[in-house]
Amino acid sequence: MTEPADPTKSWLERYQPYRRRAEIGFWVVVLTIQVLFNSITTWIDLRTAPFAQPLLWELSSNLTVGLLIPALIAFERRFPLRWDTLGRNLPWHLAGTLVFCAMHVLVMMALRKAAYALVGASYNFGNWATVLAYEYLKDVRSYVLILCAVLSYRLLLLRLQGEARVLDAPETPAGTESAGPSLRPERFLVRKLRKEFLIAATDIEWLQAQGNYIGIHVNGHDYLLRSTLADFLSQLDPARFVQVHRSYAANLDRVAEIEPESSGDARLRMKDGSQVPCSRRYRAALGGS
């Protein structure tokens, strides 16, 4: 079955070079809007305080949250929140809210005390127990909203990019024993935009570890499959697919050129024009080249 025309491919290809900047820009815009709205609201409530005071409070709070967002994303990748892992990983995230709150309060208070000291004033944060209880109630909400935004964004990209899965292996007839090693999957089923089609294992050019998924690069397209790189490689032909980097594996039949680098690493130029990094510790897998 040939792959149907993909109306989102050009959009995704144009987006990928700017993806990192877009993701950072999203949080910068969200936190900036929050600073402005919360500062104005607090200033109106206080009435007598200068606007610089609530602005400093919100800047220190949201700057700290912004610094914690990458750590929170990495923490979720280590303890993913999915239906099949919810019972096991939810306690970790409950503990994570405590650490998130503690780091938020400590860094935020340090920034405020430093800013007040610069103008010859002192910042009194009041009773620690009261402050922590108040901030924890807000930080739990922030923690959940950040994760919801990250998971929703990840789900959107997954739906647009397409998710692959291994086709079920044929069942062994009852009363018989399988002979030899288990069959390696020859094809993978890809679901994309409510359509399904097959890709052949031999058409895979390279693989990349991406958190809880691996990216499968096939004929200029990228698909995601929920697996680790090591587990997926164990299902492929080891004479053809080899790991060439901590996060990459390549189909040797698809390698056009090997470009050595002065550091001892190399860069693999694939037949489709894409490039894959190859670290020196894995170069022996290329036949000593």
With beta carbons less than 8 A apart as the criterion, state whether 8 and 160 touch.
yes
Closest to 113 measured CA to CA, from 100, 102, 126: 126
Q: Above 80 in pLDDT, residue 192?
A: no
pLDDT tens digits for range 119-157: 888 888 778 888 888 899 999 999 999 999 998 988 787
Look at residue 241 and give its three-state secondary structure: strand
Closest to 272 measured CA to CA, from 289, 286, 251, 288: 251
Lateral strand order in the sheet of 204-210: 195-200, 187-192, 163-166, 221-225, 213-218, 204-210, 248-251, 241-245
Region 185-286: CATH code: 2.40.50.1020
Q: What tokens were used for 162?
A: 């397409």
Q: Above 70 in pLDDT, residue 85?
A: yes
Residue 229 — very low, low, confident or very high, per pLDDT cuts 50/70/90? confident
Q: Above 80 in pLDDT, residue 59?
A: yes
DSSP state of 51: T
Separation CA 264–CA 261 (nearest Å): 6
Q: Which of 79-83, 138-142, 200-204, 215-219 has the highest mean pLDDT?
A: 138-142
Token look-up 């109630």 returns 137
Q: Which of 73-87, 159-173, 190-204 has the highest mean pLDDT?
A: 73-87
Q: Where in the chain is the domain with CATH 2.40.50.1020?
A: 185-286
40 backbone dihedrals φ, ψ, rounded to 5°: -65, -40
